[in-house]
Amino acid sequence: MTTLNEVARHAGVTSATVSNVLRNRGRVGEATRQRVLDAIAALGYRPHLPARALAEGRAPTIALMVSSIANPFYPEFALAVETALRRSGQFLIICNTDGDPQTGRAYLDQIAGSLSAGVLVMNANLDFADLHMTELRGAPVVLCMWERPLDPPGLPCVAVDFRLAGELAARHLLELGHRKIGAIVGSKVSGIHAARYDGFVAAMQAAGIDGAAAPVLYAPDTTQGGYAAALELLKKHPELTALYATNDLPALGAMQAAADLGLEVPRQLSVVGITDIQLARESRPALTTVAVPTVEAAELAVDLLRELIDAPASTATATGHGANAPRVCVTSAPRLVVRASTAPPRV
Amino acid sequence: MTTLNEVARHAGVTSATVSNVLRNRGRVGEATRQRVLDAIAALGYRPHLPARALAEGRAPTIALMVSSIANPFYPEFALAVETALRRSGQFLIICNTDGDPQTGRAYLDQIAGSLSAGVLVMNANLDFADLHMTELRGAPVVLCMWERPLDPPGLPCVAVDFRLAGELAARHLLELGHRKIGAIVGSKVSGIHAARYDGFVAAMQAAGIDGAAAPVLYAPDTTQGGYAAALELLKKHPELTALYATNDLPALGAMQAAADLGLEVPRQLSVVGITDIQLARESRPALTTVAVPTVEAAELAVDLLRELIDAPASTATATGHGANAPRVCVTSAPRLVVRASTAPPRV
DNA sequence: CTGAAAGCGCTAACAT
DNA sequence: ATGTTAGCGCTTTCAG
C-alpha cells in the first residue's frame, strides 16, 4: 500500500505538503504541486479513508436505516440517496433493521458517530429514544419521510404532505363520480399512514360524504396485505366501486384481488394508490397513483444531514434538544398521476 | 466521545487491558475483566471503528457493486448479503455504478483496500482489469452470479448453473406440448445471458426441434425490454404458443405485452422466466419461472470473500493470479417453479 | 496477568 | 511556501 509518506519522499517533500495538495489547503507552490501530483500518479496512491476519518474525526460514510431494503420503495429512495452522496464523496451504508428496534439499536450503537457521520432514517421502526441517543453521541439524524409537515417529530426531518396526497387520491375518485369508496390503510390505526387516511376522509367530507363512515381496513403495508384487505372489503361491501390504498403496494395487491374476484379494473372497480413506485407504471392496468417526490426528498435529506454534520457540535445538539426546534424541510407537493386503473363507475 | 483510555482510567487499568477484554485476546484476570466491563457499561463506551480499522489494517465493511440497486433483483440479493454480513459484524456499502465502468472504477479506487476490506460484484458492468487491480491493492473480489460453473472467469466467484435453468424452463414448455416457442434474451448476443439461451437451445434440440432456429430476440434486461421484444416477436410469429425469457423482468414484460395484444396468459400464450424474484409470485397470472438460490448465493459469496480476506496476503494474491486458479463456489441447482403463466397450448 | 510504547496513515496547528 | 510535530483511538508486540 502506498502511503502519504512514500508519496512525499518520492516527491522530495513532506507528508504535510502532500496532504495540502490533496485537499487544496494551505498554499503550495505550483512546481511542488506538480511534482506531488506526478508522484501520486506514479505510485498509484489512494488515500486511506479510515486514517483520514480518524484524523479528521469524521467518517466519509452515512448510514441509511430501513426495515428491509427489499421493500420495493426503498431501493428507489436508496438509489437517489446514493447518487446525492456520491456527488459529495460520501459513501452509503445500508442498515436493514428487519423492522426490529433491537436490531436498529445495535446498528446505531456500532455505527453512529464513528463509522458513519450521520444517519438517515426511512421508516425502520426505531425507538426515538435510540435516535436521540445517537444524536447525543454526535451523529446527526434525519427522518426521511415524515408524514405531517405541520406536526414535526422533534427530530430533523424531510416532510412530505401525505395528507394532501390522500386528498388528491380521494378527490380524483370523487371527480370520476365514485361515491362508494373503500379505503385500505397500510398500517395500524395510529400508524404512519394516518395522515394519508385523514386526507381521504377530508376529501370525502368536502364532497358531502361521511368519509369516516366509509369502509376501511388496516392491513400490512404490502402487496399481500392489500390483497387480503381488498378481498375482505369487496366481499363485505359489494357495492364499492372504488378502492383507495394509502400506498402503491397494497393498491397493486388490491388490483390482484379484483382480478381474482373476476372484477375488471377499471371498468368494474377503480383503484388508486400513493407514491408512484416503479411498479405502478409497470402493472397492468397501470396504476393511477399520487406521486411523491422521492428523489427530491432524498436530496433534501442528504443536504439537511450534511448541514447538521458540518454544524458546530453545540449547534447540532441544540438543534435536537435546545431552544430552536429541529429543522423540517418540506418537499414540493405530491401530484396525481392518472393511469389506467381508474375510471368512472359503471352505471 | 468515550475512548478506550477513559475506560481504562475509569477501571484503573491500561488501555491495552481494555482492548484485551474487548477482543478476548491475551489473558485478563476475572476481577479486572469485570471491572473493565463495568467501566464500559458505565461510560457507554463504543469502539471507534475507523481507529480500529487503521490499527488492524482491515476495515469492517465490504462493498457491493451493482449497476443500480433499483433493479428489482438486487435488493433481494443485497438483503441476503447484509444479513450474512451482519452476523459477522461487518457492514455493507452499496455502490451503484449506473452501469458505467468509469463510475465503477472510481468507486473501486476510493473504497477498495481501505474503506472496505473486500468487494462483492453483482453484474455491474465493470472492467475485469479494474477488478484485478483491486485485488492487487489488497481487496479480494468475488463475482456473485457467474453464469457458467464450468467456465471460470479468472476471479473468485459464486456460480449458478444458468444453463440448466434455461434447460429446465424450456423443458417445462416442451413437456406441456409447446413446439412453437420464442425466446427473449435479456442481453446482447455475447452477454451474460448466453448460458441461459444455450440451455434453452439444448433442451429444444433434445426434443427434436431446431432450437437455434426458434425465433429469438435480444433485448435489455428490463420489463420494458421484454415488453417490446414480446410485441415484436408475437407480431412476426403469430404461431408462437409460448415465450421463454432469460429473466423474470422481461418475462413479466412479455406478459404485459400479451395482455395489451389481447392474448390471454396462459390459455393463448405461455410465459416462463428465470430467477423467481418477488414480483414473479405477485404478478397476475403468477409467473412460472426457474428459481435461482439467491440467498444461498449471497451466503456463499460472503463466506468466500471472508475467506479471501482472512487468507494471508500472499495466498490471496496467488489465488487471483498465481498457479492455483481462483475458487469458484457452485450453488445448488436452480429448480422449476410452476405457477399460473404456463399451460398446454390451445388446440 | 498487566503495563509501556510504538505505530497504523493522515490532518492540523505551529514553526520556519 | 514548506517542514515539524503532535495527536486521532486503537492494537499489538514486548517487558515486567
Whole-number pLDDT of residue A313: 59
B58 touches strand D (CB under 7 A): no
pLDDT tens, A169-225? 999 999 999 999 999 999 888 888 999 999 999 999 999 999 999 999 999 999 999
Place of cell 487544496: A24
Helix axes A313-321, A294-310, angle to 10 degrees: 120
Contact A92 B91 (CB under 8 A): no
Cell of B123: 453484474
Whole-number pLDDT of residue A14: 93
Whole-number pLDDT of residue B325: 87
Cell of B332: 445448488
Strands (E), B116-162: 118-121, 141-146, 157-159
Computed on alpha carbons and rounded to an integer, the radius of gyration of chain A in Å comes to 25
A28 touches strand D (CB under 7 A): yes
Could you tell me the distance in Å between the CA of residue A89 and the C1' of nucleotide D2? 28
Residues 6+ apart with CB under 8 A from A319: A140, A156, A308, A311, A326, A327
Average pLDDT, stretch B219-243? 97
The CA distance from A189 to the nearest CA of chain B, in Å, is 26
Query: What DSSP letter does each residue of A3-59 carry, written as one string?
Result: -HHHHHHHHTS-HHHHHHHHHT-S---HHHHHHHHHHHHHHT----HHHHHHHHT--
Among A215, A310, A293, A206, residue whose Cα is nearest residue A254: A215
Choose the mutation target among A45, A65, A69, A249 for the interface with B, i.e. most B CBs under 10 Å.
A69
- Going by the DSSP 8-state scheme, the letter that residue B31 receives in this structure is H
**Helices assigned H by DSSP within B127-247:** 128-136, 162-176, 194-206, 223-236
Nearest to A49 among B60, B114, B137 (CB): B114
Whole-number pLDDT of residue B318: 46
In whole angstroms, how far apart are CA B265 and each of A205, B210, B268? 42, 25, 6
Contact B113 A79 (CB under 8 A): no
Tell me, yes or no, if B326 comes closer than 8 A to chain A by beta carbon: no
Average pLDDT, stretch B37-49? 96
Q: A217 has which bridge partners?
A: A184
Tell me, yes or no, if A70 comes closer than 8 A to chain B by beta carbon: yes
Average model confidence (pLDDT) across chain A: 94
Average pLDDT, stretch A322-339? 90
Whole-number pLDDT of residue A320: 47
Residues 6+ apart with CB under 8 A from A296: A331, A332
**Whether residue A159 has pLDDT greater than 80:** yes
Among A189, A200, A184, residue whose Cα is nearest residue A243: A184
pLDDT tens, B111-155? 998 999 999 999 888 999 999 999 999 999 999 999 999 999 999
Residue type, B267: R
Could you tell me the distance in Å between the CA of residue B15 and the C1' of nucleotide C5? 12
**Whether residue B291 has pLDDT greater than 50:** yes
Residue A33, phi then psi, degrees to nearest 5: -55, -45
Distance from C-alpha of A17 to C-alpha of A5, rounded to nearest angstrom: 10
Contact B44, B55 (CB under 8 A): no
- C8 C1' closest Cα residue: B55
Distance from C-alpha of B302 to C-alpha of B310, rounded to nearest angstrom: 12
Residues 6+ apart with CB under 8 A from B190: none
Whole-number pLDDT of residue B159: 97
Contact A49 B74 (CB under 8 A): no
- Which tops the pLDDT comparison, A25 or B6? B6
Distance from C-alpha of B244 to C-alpha of B93, rounded to nearest angstrom: 35
Distance from C-alpha of A10 to C-alpha of A178, rounded to nearest angstrom: 77
All domains in chain B, ordered by first residue = 4-47 (1.10.260.40), 56-160+294-330 (3.40.50.2300), 162-292 (3.40.50.2300)
The CA distance from A207 to the nearest CA of chain B, in Å, is 34
**Whether residue A153 has pLDDT greater than 50:** yes
Q: B119 has which bridge partners?
A: B63, B141
Residue B90 pLDDT level (bands cut at 50, 70, 90)? very high
**Helices assigned H by DSSP within A66-190:** 73-87, 101-111, 128-136, 162-176
Nearest nucleotide to A45 (CA to C1') is C9
A47 touches strand C (CB under 7 A): yes
Residue A314 pLDDT level (bands cut at 50, 70, 90)? low
A22 touches strand C (CB under 7 A): yes
pLDDT tens, B164-223? 999 999 999 999 999 999 999 998 888 889 999 999 999 999 999 999 999 999 999 999
**Cβ neighbours of B57 (radius 10 Å):** 13
Residues 6+ apart with CB under 8 A from B200: B166, B167, B169, B170, B183, B211, B244, B246
End-to-end CA distance of chain A: 75
Nearest to A82 among B59, B71, B94 (CB): B94
B1 touches strand D (CB under 7 A): yes
Contact A76 B70 (CB under 8 A): yes
- Which tops the pLDDT comparison, A320 or B20? B20
Instruction: Give the count of alpha carbons within 13 A of B126, CB side only.
Output: 33
Could you tell me the distance in Å between the CA of residue B60 and the C1' of nucleotide D10? 14
A 155-214 residues inside an 8 A Cβ radius of B: none
Q: A157 has which bridge partners?
A: A143, A328
**Whether residue A336 has pLDDT greater than 70:** yes
End-to-end CA distance of chain B: 75
The CA distance from B51 to the nearest CA of chain A, in Å, is 6
Helix, strand, or coil here: B71?
A: coil
pLDDT tens, A105-121? 999 999 998 999 999 99
Nearest to B50 among A53, A68, A69 (CB): A53
**In which element (H, E) is residue A196 found?**
helix A194-206
In chain B, which residues have their Cβ closer than 8 Å to the Cβ of A284? 255-256, 259-260
- D5 C1' closest Cα residue: A16
Chain C positions with any atom < 7 A from a protein CB: 1-5, 7-14
In whole angstroms, how far apart are CA A248 and each of A253, A273, B146, B268? 8, 5, 34, 30
The CA distance from A261 to the nearest CA of chain B, in Å, is 12
In chain B, which residues have their Cβ closer than 8 Å to the Cβ of A71? 75
Peptide bond into A345 cis (omega under 30): no
**Whether residue B315 has pLDDT greater than 70:** no
Residue A334's region, left for phi above 0, alpha for psi from -120 to 50, else beta, is: beta
Tell me, yes or no, if A325 comes closer than 8 A to chain B by beta carbon: no
Residue A347 pLDDT level (bands cut at 50, 70, 90)? confident
Among B172, B176, B169, B210, residue whose Cα is nearest residue B193: B169
Cell of B118: 473486500
Q: What pTM was estimated for this model as a whole?
A: 0.95
